Amino acid sequence: MESSDEKVVAVIMVGGPTKGTRFRPLSFNTPKPLFPLAGQPMVHHPISACKRIPHLAQIFLIGFYEEREFALYVSSISNELKLPVRYLKEDKPHGSAGGLYYFRDLIMEDNPSQIFLLNCDVCCNFPLPDMLEAHRSYGGMGTMLVIKVSAESANQFGELVADPITKELLHYTEKPETFVSDLINCGVYVFTPDIFTAIRDVSFQREDRANMNHVSSFESHLSVTRAHPIDFVRLDQDILSPLSGKKQLYTYETTDFWEQIKTPGMSLKCSGLYLVQFRFISPNILADGDGSKSATIVGDVYVHPSAKVHPSAKIGPNVSLSANVRVGAGVRLISCIILDDVEINEHALVINSIVGWKSSIGRWSRVQADGDYNAKLGITILGEAVTVEDEVVIINSIVLPHKILNVSVQEEIIL
């Protein structure tokens, strides 16, 4: 039975600047969690999903970016949702479970009965209320969101075996060498506060091993000294694997979309997935237009209220335009993210690309790519303040910030 004073908190792991290397050149001037997908910062999508959890008391973001990088966003989202959202800065990486444990006193201050844990770089429809209901019915310590993927791609993730009837997690292995299962971990969990005891036990076992005067085996010596400090605890290898098959952990399968946002290519794909989702949950966010008073809109498109788009332009599907973007006459935009203060001049064409802040694209120029979201040069990326002059074609390329391009390029990384 759920009591009326029951509280739930949510924790979203946002990581830190050391990890963002695959996200360059876009991570140079904004933390990856604040990079806009479908016109909203990446972290906004899990946050707004948390808002739908009943009895939610507060949301914590945990990471090791500087607090000033998140201060503005955290205060504005707290006001918008009428819900406390707090950024907690780790002094160093503690691992996914260690970070949770490090801030356990703050997380437990409302005495919540359930704690959601989400990863910021996951894109899905976050079915959190349904997951919570399933978790309560299982009666275990934790429930993880899982999804079926193709057998070929499964080994890039944490693979798991679950009981088809009870949904108990029976076996968990991170990025296995051989095929285990086509069910993978989505990086979205709900736990009872018992998770803190489980994390503490891992740390204590490590400490005991470290304190044994004669380190009995090479393995235990290695695990403490070289690989990880005592307070670094990973959720998957250190918690999920050992607790599998002990009637403590359960699974909740989603049949909807799920992606991991590790690269700019995937961010463009996920921006499109979120735009499609807006069609169902908040269609008022999406632009519309038929080319008479406003531009022609095809499919799902987000246009920031401050953007100015010429009525003869044609935009979509999967396009998002950030603040103060200027789009000239006859421009065609397909499958792209256009960041703040970009100017796109008459008759330019942008396809399968991300155009960085304050960049400008000249008349009759083309910035495009094949749209293979997994390939290194599958989308074209212009860093901050890149100028593409008139009648220049840029194909399948990455351009670092502050470059001026007056000749056409293809399949290049311009440093």
pLDDT digits (tens, 9 = 90+) for 290-309: 888 899 999 999 999 999 99
Among 207, 239, 260, give the residue marking a domain's end. 260
Q: Could you list the residue range(s) of the whole structural domain that residue 125 is in?
A: 8-260
In-domain check, residue 265: no
Q: How many CB atoms lie within 10 A of CB 374?
A: 11
| Average pLDDT over the chain, rounded to an integer | 91
> Tell me, what's the pLDDT at 224?
46
Token duo for residue 66: 């500087």
CATH number of the domain encompassing residue 335: 2.160.10.10
Question: Which of 211-215, 225-229, 354-358 holds the top average pLDDT?
Answer: 354-358
Token duo for residue 262: 């590790």
Residues 372-412: pLDDT tens digits?
998 989 999 999 999 999 999 999 999 999 999 999 999 99
Distance CA 86, CA 43 (A): 13
Token duo for residue 108: 């437990």
In-domain check, residue 1: no
The answer to whether residues 40 and 280 touch, using CB atoms and an 8 Å cutoff, is no
> Tell me, what's the pLDDT at 222?
45
Same structural domain, 254 and 280:
no
What value does the mean pLDDT take over residues 321-328?
A: 98
Same structural domain, 110 and 164:
yes
Same structural domain, 188 and 286:
no
Same structural domain, 234 and 329:
no
Residues 228-265: pLDDT tens digits?
667 788 898 899 999 999 999 999 999 999 999 989 99
Bridge pairing between strands 8-15 and 366-368: unpaired
In-domain check, residue 2: no
360 class by beta-carbon count within 10 Å (0-12 exposed, 13-18 middle, 19+ buried): buried
* CA–CA distances in Å: residue 136 to residues 104, 277, 376: 22, 27, 43
* 154 confidence band (pLDDT: 50, 70, 90): confident
* 148 confidence band (pLDDT: 50, 70, 90): very high
Same structural domain, 290 and 404:
yes
Higher pLDDT, 15 or 229: 15
Residue 259 three-state SS: strand
In-domain check, residue 368: yes
* 215 confidence band (pLDDT: 50, 70, 90): low
In-domain check, residue 33: yes
In-domain check, residue 176: yes
Residues of the chain with pLDDT > 70, as a percent, come to: 93
Same structural domain, 85 and 232:
yes
In-domain check, residue 123: yes
Q: How many residues does this entry show for the chain?
A: 415
Same structural domain, 299 and 244:
no
What's the pTM value of the predicted model, to 2 decimals?
A: 0.91
Our count of domains for the chain comes to 2
Same structural domain, 252 and 280:
no
Same structural domain, 403 and 350:
yes
Residue 260 three-state SS: strand
Closest alpha carbon to 381 in 359, 408, 362, 365: 359
CATH number of the domain encompassing residue 235: 3.90.550.10
